[in-house]
């Protein structure tokens, strides 16, 4: 007996092979003597038709139940591949009347499916997204590995607030005996465990910079946390960020080239492996985006502002907002746009001043349709004294010290994985791109 996943059976069917399949029933058609079950095992979005003689069936065989079936692979009279069952076992029953929220006759909306985070991987919609998320992760690793970047695991627990926005989750021990013992030692209540205030990381950048200054090009893909009070369709409290740091990098274009190539790599290659998943999520998504063979557009912040002002979308001191980002993209015909040369006061302390204008920093935001900003990057201030003067806290003295010994110019960027998936799959709500989304008031499982 060959035990195969449905993806391999469909890719390379060996007719007449005796095969076993384990999966979930996605649809049942009951006829006089035969039952036709469409079975999925999560390996792809296609279903394998299983033909079950009625005498093998039991009461517990229903939509949603999990089954183990053995039989012979055959071609139906209409030429369709099917498994003709000779044994069938229902592993786990599934009864709609007991509260199973999905049924095969309704097209459930994504808002409806999102109410059942623990069960939603059973839907075609969510399982397609999770397979794409897996494939994109692999493509990111491929891309950097083939360019000899070293993958680094940066810490989750940290004493720095990299972005300086104060949107950090503080970490405190909840173990009373540990806390009491530490208090006895006369430690400050706030900083009792590590001896300094500790947060969940908002970005691995500063740690990546440390390694980059010893080993060259590096990257990381891991969870990051932001205590933003935002319930928008674009923000999560916990999201995955790809961050890369390039050694000996003193031109913003060096970063932009990598970002543009990375996006084009992902958008092209994903179609080799997950075309059907993309199509299932969005029927219009069967072709490459129109920008795939165009160069991304580059405009300065000043130019973007003037352009928007002219269109009566007046940019305030707060900066370009989401509506304006999307208007800019539309104006550029949907081609991704790098907005460069940002006013210094709008960006983080670590960014390098532009050489010919010290009111600006050498940073970019990459804007795309659907999300607006999807990547943020910059050259890093590599002058010891300038950086020291801008340092937000003494906690970061180690970060300035990196500039003291064998320093090099570096630059890097961060790409939000969930936002990228929104753009790739044309999904308007970011909560549908991550298995278990966290947002304010929502972390119940």
Q: Based on CB atoms, which residue is closest to ligand 4AD, 38 or 161?
A: 161
Given Mg ion, ligand 4AD, none, residue 416, with its beta carbon under 5 to 8 Å by kind, binds ligand 4AD
Residue 424 binds which of ligand 4AD, Mg ion, none (CB < 5-8 A, kind-dependent)? none
Q: How far is the CB of 350 from Mg ion (least distance, A)?
A: 13
Tokens linked to 434? 């991550």
How many angstroms separate the CA atoms of 142 and 153, rounded? Answer: 17
Closest CB to ligand 4AD among 38 and 163? 163
Of 312, 308, 427, 331, which Cα lies nearest the Cα of 374?
Answer: 427
Q: Smaller CB distance to ligand 4AD: residue 63 or 349?
A: 349
Instruction: Tell me which of ligand 4AD, Mg ion, none is bound by residue 382, counting a contact when its beta carbon lies within the kind-specific cut-off of 5 to 8 angstroms.
Output: none
Q: Identify which range of 74-82, 104-112, 182-190, 410-418 contacts ligand 4AD by CB under 6 A.
A: 410-418
Residue 243 interacts with which of Mg ion, ligand 4AD, none, CB < 5 to 8 Å by class: ligand 4AD
- Coil vs helix vs strand at 379: strand
Total site size for ligand 4AD, rule CB under 6 A: 22
Distance in Å, CB of 376 to ligand 4AD, minimum: 3
Q: How far apart, in whole angstroms, are the C-alpha atoms of residue 220 and residue 335? A: 27
We find the least distance from the C-beta atom of residue 164 to Mg ion, in angstroms, to be 12
Q: Between vectors from CA 328 to CA 339 and to CA 263, what angle results, nearest 5°?
A: 60
Q: Are 326 and 369 in contact (CB under 8 A)?
A: yes
Q: Which is nearer to ligand 4AD, 278 or 375 (CB)?
A: 375
Can residue 412 be called a binding residue for ligand 4AD (CB under 6 A)?
yes
- The strand pair at 18-30 and 2-3 is best described as parallel
Q: Which two tokens stand for residue 157?
A: 């627990």
Q: Which of 65, 124, 154, 203 binds ligand 4AD (CB under 6 A)?
A: 203
Q: How far is the CB of 382 from Mg ion (least distance, A)?
A: 21
Q: What residues numbered 223-242 form the site for ligand 4AD, per CB under 6 A?
A: 226, 228, 235-236, 239, 241
Tell me if 320 contacts ligand 4AD by CB under 6 A: no
In terms of Cβ atoms closer than 10 Å to its own Cβ (0-12, 13-18, 19+), residue 36 is middle
Q: Quick one: which of 162, 246, 281, 367 contacts ligand 4AD (CB under 6 A)?
A: 162
Contact of 387 with 400, CB cutoff 8 Å: yes
228 binds, among ligand 4AD, Mg ion, none (CB under 5 to 8 A by kind): ligand 4AD
Given 246, 416, 421, 422, the residue binding ligand 4AD (CB under 6 A): 416
Q: Give the nearest distance from C-beta 133 to Mg ion in angstroms.
A: 22
For the stretch 30-38, contacts whose Cβ atoms lie closer than 8 Å and that sit 24 or more positions apart, written own/partner, are: 35/61, 37/61, 37/67
Binder of residue 120, out of ligand 4AD, Mg ion, none (CB less than 5 to 8 A by kind): none
- Considering only residues 365-394, where is the footprint of Mg ion by CB under 5 A? 376
Using CA atoms, how far apart are residues 271 and 160, in angstroms rounded to an integer?
A: 39
| In the complex, least distance from residue 286 CB atom to Mg ion, rounded to whole angstroms | 32
Structural tokens at position 382: 């590599």
For 201-231, b/e burial (b = at least 16 CB within 10 A) is: bbbbbbbbbbbbbeebbbbbbbebbbbeeee
How far is it, in rounded angstroms, from Cα 41 to Cα 37?
A: 13
| Alpha-carbon gap, residue 155 to 199, rounded angstroms | 11
Note whether 163 binds ligand 4AD by CB under 6 A: yes
Site string for Mg ion, 90-129 (x = CB under 5 A): ----------------------------------------
Give the residue among 71, 151, 49, 125 at the shortest CA–CA distance from 433.
125
Euclidean distance between CA atoms 96 and 85, whole angstroms: 25
Comparison of 226 and 360: residue with beta carbon closer to ligand 4AD? 226
C-alpha span between 221 and 146 (Å, rounded): 16
Binding string, 241-280, against ligand 4AD, x = CB under 6 A? x-x-------------------------------------
Count the site residues for Mg ion by CB under 5 A: 1
Binders of ligand 4AD among residues 324 to 383 (CB under 6 A) are 373-377
C-alpha span between 22 and 43 (Å, rounded): 11
> Shortest approach of ligand 4AD to residue 443 CB, angstroms?
14
d(CA 67, CA 41): 10
Judged by the rule CB under 5 A, the positions of this chain that interact with Mg ion are 376
In the complex, the residues that contact ligand 4AD under the rule CB under 6 A are: 162-163, 203, 205, 226, 228, 235-236, 239, 241, 243, 373-377, 412-414, 416, 418-419
């Amino acid at each position: 007996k060959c035990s195969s996943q449905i993806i391999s059976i469909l890719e390379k069917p060996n007719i007449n092979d005796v095969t076993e399949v384990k999966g979930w029933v996605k649809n049942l058609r009951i006829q006089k003597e035969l039952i036709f079950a469409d079975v999925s095992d999560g390996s792809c979005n296609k279903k394998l038709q299983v033909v079950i003689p009625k005498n093998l069936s039991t009461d517990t065989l229903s939509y949603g139940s999990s089954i183990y079936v053995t039989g012979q692979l055959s071609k139906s009279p209409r030429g369709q591949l099917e498994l003709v069952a000779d044994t069938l076992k229902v592993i786990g029953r599934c009864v709609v009347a007991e509260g199973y929220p999905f049924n095969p006759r309704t097209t459930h909306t994504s808002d409806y499916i999102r109410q059942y985070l623990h069960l939603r991987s059973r839907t075609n919609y969510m399982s397609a997204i999770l397979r794409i998320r897996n494939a994109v992760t692999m493509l990111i690793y491929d891309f950097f590995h083939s360019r000899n970047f070293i993958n680094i695991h940066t810490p989750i627990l940290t004493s720095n607030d990299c972005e300086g926005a104060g949107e950090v989750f503080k970490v405190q021990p909840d173990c009373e005996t540990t806390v009491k013992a530490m208090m006895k030692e006369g430690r400050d209540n706030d900083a009792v465990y590590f001896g300094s205030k500790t947060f969940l990381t908002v970005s691995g950048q500063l740690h990546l910079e440390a390694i980059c200054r010893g080993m060259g090009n590096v990257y990381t893909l891991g969870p990051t946390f932001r205590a933003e009070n935002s319930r928008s369709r674009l923000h999560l409290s916990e999201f995955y960020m790809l961050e890369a740091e390039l050694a000996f990098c003193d031109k913003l274009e060096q970063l932009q080239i990598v970002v543009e190539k990375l996006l084009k790599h992902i958008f092209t290659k994903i179609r080799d492996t997950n075309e059907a998943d993309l199509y299932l999520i969005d029927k219009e998504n069967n072709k490459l985006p129109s920008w795939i063979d165009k160069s991304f557009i580059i405009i300065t912040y000043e130019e973007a502002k003037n352009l928007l002002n002219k269109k009566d979308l007046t940019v305030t001191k707060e900066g370009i907002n989401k509506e304006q980002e999307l208007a800019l993209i539309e104006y550029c015909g949907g081609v991704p746009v790098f907005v460069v040369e940002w006013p210094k006061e709008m960006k983080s302390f670590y960014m390098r001043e532009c050489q010919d204008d010290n009111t600006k920093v050498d940073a970019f935001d990459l804007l795309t349709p659907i999300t607006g900003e999807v990547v943020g990057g910059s050259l890093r201030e590599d002058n010891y004294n300038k950086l020291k003067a801008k340092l937000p806290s003494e906690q970061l003295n180690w970060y300035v010290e990196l500039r003291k010994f064998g320093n090099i110019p570096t630059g890097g960027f961060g790409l939000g994985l969930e936002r990228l998936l929104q753009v790739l799959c044309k999904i308007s709500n970011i909560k549908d791109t991550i298995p278990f989304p966290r947002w304010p008031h929502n972390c119940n499982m």
